[in-house]
Amino acid sequence: MFYRIPEINYIYVSKLDEALEVLHTLDNARVLAGGTDLVMDLKIGRIRPETIVDISRVDELKYIKDEGDYLRIGALTTLQDIVESSLVRAKAPVLVKAVNEMASWQVRNVATIGGNLCNASPAADSAPPLMVLEARLILASREGEREVPITQFFKGPRKTELRKDELLKEIIIPYERGSGQHYIKLGRRDAFTLSIVSVAALVKVSNGKFSDVRIALNSVAPTPVRAYDAENALKGREVNLENIENVSKLVLNSISPQ
Amino acid sequence: MEVFFKLNGQPVKVDVKPNEVLLDVLRLKLGIKSVKRGCERAECGTCTVLLDGKPTYSCMILAPYVNGREVATIEYLKENGELKPLVEAFADVGAVQCGFCTPGFLLTVYAFLKKNPSPTREEIKKAIEGNLCRCTGYKKIIEAIELASKKMKSG
């Protein structure tokens, strides 16, 4: 055995209320959703929790719902369920494209969308698509719920807006009608690889000009980032390759260190 | 702590520690040696098992997680005969050299062909991206999966 995980306590919860109660009372606990990032972090000693709170049986957080103008995705929805959802494919295609390139089938079968966001890796591949879609996150605690735009959720490498007694409950994804969406991942190989950089873009065009532009990248800063300077410079401009190439250099303003 | 789950169709009860992974429970406590210890970091696919029917890396599953769930290894497929066309296809094409990765591949391919009985070559490549083989260069494995797909449809 290459890796030895230190002794830990293990608690199962099967209801959201129960999970929030447990998180409220425990001090040094970590939540296990799918566990694919968490178990690796335990193995390499990046985290040393006293207790694992297994929320994988909280079935009320596993859903993809169509609300017309937006989708609601439960935080415990697996990555593979997102890839295979015709609803997400129709209404948020950039998310499906990104998630389909995450890890491998074996990982996507257990890893969850909420886990990928809460782990807050600078290389989290579900973040750029959700940032261009301007998704909103519902964070729940014993005290109630609050809504945070995903653009304000990441605070640093593996740091988020989540308090220790809070749980990510739901991701709300606006349906961007009439938008073009794309995602490109650059890794060291084509399949099953960590992002060197990934880019998600969402644009709207009217009368040959960009009416809306959103660009998000991961792995180029302590958190996934939006490239606001490039976006603003492109808005209102004519859609042509020259404009895009010129403006693309402004993406550098959003990455750090440069 | 005690964990109850179905292993290859049979209920089992095992005493585990929460810091143990399923791979070790299967190999060291339950004697299932077809599940191989490879990278132990969710990269190589030799430890693949079916968890509730879906391929997953057993090196990344903490033992208590499987409580109440179903785990299947190739022993199960062998018993119910579902392994035969797959193994024949792998043997006919020569998709096995050292064989270390083979049980993991067979489980992934079994679950994949069940889901998608007539896959394209691109779909096959995508399905096996989480299983590494250092001998064959994948060409033969991909051909074996294509052959297995044909055998299973005609069989």
Give residue-wise pLDDT tens across range A152-185: 999 999 999 999 999 999 999 999 999 999 999 9
B55 and A107: CB-CB below 8 Å? no
Tell me if chain A has a CB within 8 Å of the CB of B70.
Answer: no
Between residues 166 and 205 of chain A, which touch chain B (CB distance below 8 Å)? Answer: 191-192
Buried-state track B127-140, b at ≥16 Cβ within 10 A, e below 16: bbbbbbbeebebeb
Find chain B residues with C-beta within 8 A of A10's C-beta: 1, 18, 62, 64
Tell me if chain A has a CB within 8 Å of the CB of B142.
Answer: no
- Asked if B5 contacts B22 with a C-beta cutoff of 8 angstroms, the reply is no
pLDDT tens profile A40-73: 999 999 999 999 999 999 999 999 999 999 999 9
Cα Rg of chain B (Å, integer): 15
Distance set, CA B41 to CA A2, A36, A104, A119, B47 (Å): 10, 9, 13, 17, 10
Q: Domains, chain A, ranges and CATH?
A: 9-54 (3.30.43.10), 59-174 (3.30.465.10), 180-254 (3.30.390.50)
Q: What is the ipTM of this complex?
A: 0.97
Above 80 in pLDDT, residue A103?
yes
- DSSP per residue, chain A: ----PPP-EEEE--SHHHHHHHHHH-SSEEEESS-HHHHHHHHTTS---SEEEE-TT-GGG--EEE-SSEEEEETT-BHHHHHT-HHHHHH-HHHHHHHHTSS-HHHHTT-BHHHHHHHT-TT-TTHHHHHHTT-EEEEEETTEEEEEEGGGTEEETTEES--TT-EEEEEEEE--TT-EEEEEEEESSSSS--EEEEEEEEEEEETTEEEEEEEEEESSSSS-EE-HHHHHHHTTSB--HHHHHHHHGGGGGG-S--
Above 80 in pLDDT, residue A1?
no
Q: Domains, chain B, ranges and CATH?
A: 2-73 (3.10.20.30), 81-154 (1.10.150.120)
pLDDT tens profile A105-134: 999 999 999 999 999 999 999 999 999 999
Given the DSSP bridges, would you call strands A9-12 and A51-54 parallel, antiparallel or unpaired?
Answer: parallel
pLDDT tens profile B55-108: 999 999 999 999 999 999 999 988 888 889 999 999 999 999 999 999 999 999
- Asked if B41 contacts A40 with a C-beta cutoff of 8 angstroms, the reply is yes
CA-CA distance, A110 to A117, in Å (whole number)? 15
A1 and B37: CB-CB below 8 Å? yes
Instruction: Please tell me which residue of chain B has the smallest CA distance to A191.
Output: B129
| Beta bridge partners of residue B17, listed in sequence order | none
B18 and A2: CB-CB below 8 Å? no
pTM above 0.90, yes or no: yes
What is the nearest CA distance from B137 to chain A, expressed in angstroms? 15
